[in-house]
Amino acid sequence: MPELPEVEVIRRELAPLICGKSFAEPVLFYERAIRYPRPKEFSRRLPGRCIVELGRKGKYLFFELDRGLLLGHLRMTGKLLYCAPGAALDNPTAPEKDLRVKLPFAEGGALYFYDMRKFGGFWLLEDLEECRAAGLSLPGPDIWEELDESTFVAMLQGRPRARIKPLLLDQHFAAGMGNIYTDESLFRSGIHPCRRVQTLTEEESALLYRTIRDVLAAGIACGGTTTRDYRDARGAEGSFQNFLTVYGRKGEPCTHCSRPIERIVVAGRGTHFCPHCQK
């Protein structure tokens, strides 16, 4: 599933290609990928609106329009690919049957949304006030853009009873972390994924914040992590999977102590960690 680094990579690639362009009439191959408003209304409202800026909050892409806002979420298997005017979309990793939405631009070129599992989608809002009507509960502060160390440490102190891994995955607490980057950050901080937040020292909380920043930065610099489906806006794989220390490495030796990495389930999520190095 794309997490903050993958969505940020897509955002950085797409922004210079699509900002300033206006949407033409969308082509909906799977109407339920349009979450709000109704598909017919979406197709009526979108054409003519111009992309002013492409932002991101957590795992949501925010297309800021000259009128309103288009939100996109890739969920499990979504891919958002850009095809230049006159070029052929060359992406063997996304079969034609998974094409859900095509968003052509009046100036030529188009965005193609592929989604095998069909959990991803788009919301077209006149303003953020419309979120409630759209059944959309926006994420909390973005952990990359909107939180500094002291704010993050104070936020942790406000949730003493929570276990650290489920709290980091809670998009309403802080937005952007998913399973891979959370497991990697906890290992590199030496913190057991089941620790209650109240047992963390202030130093550990601050170290965790800095480690999360480092891990996210490395993920972005690598173009994201491709363990299965993820591709960037050009259809290319990321390479952070080559630098994973615990995620997906059950039974392999820990990079610190050489004992085997274990996999447990925490709050319903497969969790990789080293029981020797993470206290």
The alpha-helical segments, DSSP class H, found in the chain are 4-18, 39-45, 149-157, 164-169, 179-189, 202-221
Rg (CA), the chain: 20
CA distance 236 to 113: 15
Catalytic residue status for 25: no
Shortest gap between Cβ of 187 and Zn ion (angstroms)? 8
**Sequence-separated (6 or more) residues with CB below 8 Å from residue 74:** 1, 2, 6, 7, 59, 80, 115, 120
Shortest gap between Cβ of 189 and Zn ion (angstroms)? 13
In the bound complex, which residue of the shown chain has the CB atom lying closest to Zn ion? Answer: 254
Residue 276 in the binding site for Zn ion (CB under 5 A): yes
Beta carbon nearer to Zn ion, 234 or 256 = 256
CA distance 117 to 98: 8
**99 three-state secondary structure:** strand
Shortest gap between Cβ of 254 and Zn ion (angstroms)? 3
**With contacts defined by CB under 5 A, how many residues of the chain interact with Zn ion?**
6
Beta carbon nearer to Zn ion, 45 or 276 = 276
Restricting to residues 242-271, name those near Zn ion by CB under 5 A. 254, 256-257
Beta carbon nearer to Zn ion, 212 or 277 = 277
Residue 274 in the binding site for Zn ion (CB under 5 A): yes
Strand 121-125 to 34-36 pairing: parallel
Catalytic residue status for 59: yes
Mask 206-245, x = binds Zn ion (CB under 5 A)? ----------------------------------------
Mask 155-174, x = binds Zn ion (CB under 5 A)? --------------------
Question: Using an 8 Å Cβ cutoff, are 130 and 41 in contact?
Answer: no
Question: Using an 8 Å Cβ cutoff, are 253 and 259 in contact?
Answer: yes
**Sequence-separated (6 or more) residues with CB below 8 Å from residue 224:** 2, 5, 6, 9, 230, 232, 238, 240
Question: Using an 8 Å Cβ cutoff, are 74 and 117 in contact?
Answer: no
Beta carbon nearer to Zn ion, 35 or 272 = 272
Residue 191 in the binding site for Zn ion (CB under 5 A): no
Shortest gap between Cβ of 273 and Zn ion (angstroms)? 9
Catalytic residue status for 279: no
Beta carbon nearer to Zn ion, 83 or 244 = 244
Taking the alpha carbons at both ends of the chain, their separation in whole angstroms is 27
Shortest gap between Cβ of 255 and Zn ion (angstroms)? 7
DSSP letter at 110 equals E
Shortest gap between Cβ of 257 and Zn ion (angstroms)? 3
Among the options 35, 56, 59, 188, which is catalytic?
59
Q: Which residues bind Zn ion (CB under 5 A)?
A: 254, 256-257, 274, 276-277
Active-site residues, by number, are 2-3, 59, 269
